[in-house]
Structure 1
Amino acid sequence: MNWGNRDTTGRRILILGGTTEARELAGLLVKAGYAVTTSLAGRTDTPRFPEGVVRMGGFGGREGLAEYLKSNRIEMVVDATHPFAAQISANAVAAAADAKVRLIRLERPAWKKPEGAIWLEVGSTLDAVHALPRGARVLLTVGRQDLGQFLAQTNVEFVARMIEVPAGLPTDWTVIAARGPFTLEGETELMEEHGITHLVTKNSGGAQVAAKLAAATQLSIPIIVIRRPRLPRAETVDSVAWAQEAIARIFRTG
């Protein structure tokens, strides 16, 4: 598609959101004059809404998203979803190709092993379950959608932290409803208070919840990290600033 050298004001952008970066980018693009719609999956009951138009709910897979892009004359898609939202990212790449719309992925950098950390990287949630020794007391920070595999572990004690708590969790779990950012002091106090012996987390990246890694490292608590899923190839940037620059460049030069 030839974007030409036209003014970017009013150009239609769809952000697949739900992350802090998506909200920040939406605000910057709205301020710059783009017509921004952010799509939220609707999995959180109390989402933080970005500036611009907000659309809630799914699209109906690849075909539904492609049709949305065409019927709403979307000129660019920004996939700024969570690094573990593999299905929507795959759908976005395929749908953008079907609709002949440019796509960029805004993906925060993955965490790297802190110096001195006891760090075990695993390929799946089930691998993380199997890595836990009998009698462990685990700080579980994988989000509410990935708790299922841990429910059968009766020889491990869990302190599960998430933004919103689903119904039906075991009564012997300690459940904490909290939203970051978290501090090193607070995370250290939490782990000491609950006698945590292991931390289980997805490699989500980002500064808002990274303090738990530093706290666990200082306390010599093993960190079990679930590796990110593989995503289809796409033009990728790793910060809001680079995303804004890439969007301006693409619209300006084609």
Structure 2
Amino acid sequence: MKTMRRIVADVKAAIQNNTELTPLLWQLICHSPQMPLWLPQKELLAKAETGSLKVFDQYFTQRELNFNYFIWGEGRRKIMLTHGWASKAADFIELINALLTMDDVQVIAFDAPGNGKSEGALSNLLLYVEAVKALLKHIGTPEVMIAHSLGAMANVIALNDLKVAPRQLISITPLIRVKENFKATMNSVGVPEEAQEAFFEDFRKRFDDHFSHFRLTTLYNFKGLPHFLAYDEEDHIAPFEYLQEFLSAHPDVKSKAYNGAGHDRILKNEEVIADVLSLLE
């Protein structure tokens, strides 16, 4: 978090001094703050079979980055977890412990590049996608894929790219619009509109517009696939109006509100965890 506080201070100083903002905005948008592990999380990871895979960072370092994965259990039913932005595998601790009470399961999670202890100073959606694809190729298509926040979009894009699908998807407070989330981040520190537009123009040039306008509503095309979506109507990170757009376009997706659960705290919500277990049992 110290790095993010420094970046925010640098952005605010640049705004006040009317100096070039775009390089700082890249850091603001693509630095994923990393919180230290607490003891129960360390103990959970110590019980896992661990390994690492590589993805190519095409847009920042132009080199391969190692990312870490974790496997608990040896059951036949594979359940894969994809974390959200500024998160890590261990943030699923309550859900992982609950899943491991089920019979015949194997739980797989990973730290995306730039998150947890995986390599990378900056991260982005494409690195998440490449990590999901690498892990799917390594473990095979799991029975269930569960994702939080940005991880839900990464799962959908990776499955589209590989042309595979699990038997069931579960999305927890998924991000629906990436660009709007970027704008919210910049608005939160007072970045002027013209500076935001300059950043987006640089973004489009660097990524060849590869995902600057990605919206889950248009990316999602899994008709008939059992999909449960958990959300909070008061979620300011994944606004309810965007979620309504997604659910209207995809009425076969089952959803449930857990109002007051919070965008991140929802992963610890006992009702959410109980409902997930019920779906899988």
* Same fold (TM > 0.5): no
Q: Normalised by the shorter chain, which TM-score bucket?
A: 0.3 to 0.5
Which structure shows the bigger proportion of residues in helix conformation? 2
Q: What is the TM-score normalised by the length of structure 2?
A: 0.34
Q: What is the TM-score normalised by the length of structure 1?
A: 0.36
**RCO greater where, 1 or 2, for CA within 8 Å and sep 6 or more?**
1
